[in-house]
């Protein structure tokens, strides 16, 4: 089977002075995870590894560098999904963890529960031996300054960042040598969100979806709109109907825009191994391994 890997680092109006850092971040994630895929690693291992690199990148709104909520704290959401059996793991509103995607993976493999939130997710991570960081360890000066700027601004809306403001969600989709698909997504959510607010990213079908018989997808953008149309599932449903990944992504985004005036982007791989991506905001950072040119393509789509 062809092997494939595509990642994103958010869809919003990425200003010119931040574009290079975004392209660098998504390229680095593919560069780190692609060799694993070549060595026969599972799609699940590869999407987890790629997302861990994106979570560690301070440019992006996931793990280190995430937005602050209305109390000035970082709360993270993440999920991972296995296209072989529709199994998934998800955590929401977790704190002090650099890699919530790995906690989601561990939860998926624990078999008993699929999704944990807040303190329960935190306790699970602790029990499983994940390092609990000092809250400062995830904080960046950029996000602190942004929080200070918006904290008392009555006109600020959580969907504003999909205009000309910093950051967004990360994600990865892969197909391994056995033709298995997987997807993973991780986020700090929206800026100044209400504590406990859960966006699209950890919701199966909204933030990510993977089904070997259809395709796999990871989304980014304004969660309150993406949840309404289950964007990732909508795209893979189109793939199941026979549309290639490119067309399915465009059709999903058209529904997001038309039905709910949504803002967001999606990356996807269909079951035949085609790549697809589409977005409503002006720009999306993404990278994939181009198997024809045998190199990484990393770009801000405009
Ligand atoms: N897409 C990230 C969020 O809205 O939480």
The reply to whether 169 belongs to the active site is yes
Which tens digit of pLDDT belongs to each residue from 202-243? 999 999 999 999 999 999 999 999 999 999 999 999 999 999
Q: Ligand 1, atom 5: nearest CA belongs to which residue?
A: 189
Per-residue burial over 267-286, b = 16 or more CB atoms within 10 Å of its CB, e = otherwise:
bbbbbebbbbbbbbbebbbb
Residue 158: pLDDT over 80 = no
82-86, 173-177, 214-218, 262-266, range with the lowest pLDDT: 262-266
Start-to-end Cα distance in the chain: 31
Instruction: Find the catalytic residue in 58, 131, 169, 291.
Output: 169
Model confidence over 24-64: pLDDT tens digits? 999 999 999 999 999 999 999 999 999 999 999 999 989 99
So what's the pLDDT on residue 166?
45
Q: pLDDT band at 200, cuts 50/70/90? A: very high
**pLDDT-derived band at 164, boundaries 50, 70, 90:** very low
Cα of 178 from ligand 1 centre, angstroms: 31
Give the Cα separation of 228 and 205 in Å (integer).
Answer: 10
Contacts of residue 126, defined as CB under 8 A and 6 or more positions apart, other chains included, come to 132
Across the chain, mean pLDDT equals 93
Q: Ligand 1 centroid vs 187 CA: distance in angstroms? A: 6
| pLDDT reported for residue 50 | 98
Q: Ligand 1 pocket test: pick from 60, 74, 76, 190 the residue with the most ligand atoms within 8 Å of its Cβ.
A: 190
With a threshold of 0.75, does the pTM exceed it? yes
Arithmetic mean of pLDDT, 157-161: 63
What is the C-alpha radius of gyration for the chain, rounded to an integer number of angstroms? 17
Burial zone of 70 (CB within 10 Å; 0-12 exposed, 13-18 middle, 19+ buried) = middle
Report pLDDT for 112. Answer: 87
Please, which pLDDT band fits residue 6 given cuts at 50, 70 and 90? very high
Residue 273: per-residue pLDDT: 97
Q: Which atom of ligand 1 is nearest to the CA of 187?
A: 2
Q: What is the pLDDT of residue 293?
A: 92
183, 232 Cβ separation under 8 angstroms: yes
pLDDT recorded at residue 160: 59
What string of H, E and C letters represents the secondary structure of 183-210?
Answer: EEEEECCCCCCCCCCCCCCCCECCCEEE
Q: Quick one: average pLDDT of 273-297?
A: 93
How is 212-254 classified by DSSP, letter by letter?
TTTEEEEEEE-HHHHHHHTHHHHHHHHHHTT--HHHHHHHHHH
């Amino acid at each position: 089977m062809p092997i494939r890997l595509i990642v994103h680092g958010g869809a919003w109006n990425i200003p010119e002075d931040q574009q290079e850092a975004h392209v660098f971040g998504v390229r680095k994630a593919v560069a780190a995870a692609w060799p694993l895929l070549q060595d026969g690693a599972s799609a699940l291992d590869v999407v987890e590894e790629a997302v861990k690199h994106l979570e560690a990148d301070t440019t992006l709104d996931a793990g280190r560098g995430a937005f602050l909520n209305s109390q000035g704290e970082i709360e993270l959401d993440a999920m991972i999904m296995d296209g072989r059996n529709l199994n998934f793991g998800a955590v929401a509103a977790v704190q002090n963890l650099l890699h919530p995607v790995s906690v989601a993976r561990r939860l998926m493999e624990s078999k008993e529960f699929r999704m944990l939130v807040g303190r329960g997710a935190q306790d699970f991570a602790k029990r499983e031996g994940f390092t609990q960081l000092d809250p400062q360890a995830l904080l960046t000066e950029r996000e602190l300054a942004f929080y200070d700027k918006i904290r008392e601004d009555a006109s600020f809306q959580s969907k504003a960042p999909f205009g000309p403001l910093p950051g967004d969600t990360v994600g990865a989709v892969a197909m391994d040598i056995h033709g298995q698909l997987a997807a993973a997504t991780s986020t700090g959510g929206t800026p100044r969100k209400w504590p406990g607010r859960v966006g699209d990213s950890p919701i199966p079908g909204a933030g990510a979806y993977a089904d070997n018989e259809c395709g796999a997808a990871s989304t980014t953008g304004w969660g309150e709109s993406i949840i309404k149309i289950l964007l990732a599932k909508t795209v893979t449903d189109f793939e199941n109907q026979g549309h290639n990944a490119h067309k399915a992504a465009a059709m999903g985004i058209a529904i997001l825009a038309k039905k709910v005036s949504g803002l967001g982007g999606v990356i996807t791989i269909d079951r035949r191994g085609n790549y697809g991506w589409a977005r409503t905001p002006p720009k999306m950072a993404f990278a994939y391994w181009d198997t024809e040119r045998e190199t990484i393509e990393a770009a801000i789509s405009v």
